[in-house]
Amino acid sequence: MNHLITKEFWLTYEELNFRIRNFKDGEKNKLVEFPSSAKKISGNAAKICNVLKLLPLIILDKLQGGSDVWQNVLLLSHISDFVCIPYVDSSFLPLFQELVYLYFEQRLILFPNVPLRPKHHYLTHYPYLSAAFGPLVRVWTMNFERKHTILKRIVRSSRNFKNETLSVNKASALLGVAFLYS
């Protein structure tokens, strides 16, 4: 998005964030905004995935065909579709793998100075993992991330960082939630 805003001038950060804040997707999901000063989007994986899925609708009237960067964003969106698909057919897997490699190839051409991270390497294994374990949504840790967020909020609000597990266990007992860590 930084490239589309600062280099291709599709819209401004203010306009994009205004559109995100006022976008009604029929859900009560709060979408992450794009800060102009940050190098990456803040937020958890679910929120970033939601904004990636809805971004074409949010900026529909600003879309200009032919942008290689936008095509790469769309490739990433298609890859996330394969990651979240509830049913895996073996005929999907070669296309899934092709999309992953095409995304990396284009990303390296478009942004040669931006290094790939380990999570990019892990993505190359997703088609194989889908074949071995079935739909990745059944084996992912997104639900645990949500619970972990609750636990972090409990620790932060208690302001007791000496024995975090004890704080979490006591708070969860008061709340009637079974978060037992030792």
Ranked by mean pLDDT, which of 53-57, 71-75, 84-88, 101-105 comes out on top? 101-105
Over range 101-120, report the average pLDDT.
91
Q: Are 106 and 71 in contact (CB under 8 A)?
A: yes
Round the average pLDDT of the chain to a whole number and report it. Answer: 79
- Start-to-end CA span in the chain (Å): 42
- Sign of the alpha-carbon dihedral angle for 112, 116, 147, 86: positive
Q: What is the pLDDT of residue 175?
A: 64
Confidence of residue 182 (pLDDT cuts 50, 70, 90): very low
Higher pLDDT, 97 or 144: 97
Helices 92-110 & 126-133, crossing angle to 10 degrees? 160
Please report the pLDDT score of residue 155 as a whole number. Answer: 74
Mean pLDDT of 127-151: 79
pLDDT digits (tens, 9 = 90+) for 21-61: 888 766 666 777 777 776 677 776 777 777 788 888 888 77
Rounded CA separation 88/97 (Å): 13
Task: Report whether pLDDT(109) > 90.
Answer: yes
In sequence order, which ranges of the chain are alpha helices (DSSP H)?
Answer: 2-6, 13-21, 45-58, 68-84, 92-110, 118-124, 126-133, 142-158, 164-175
pLDDT at residue 94 greater than cutoff 80: yes
Domain boundaries, the chain: 2-138, 142-175
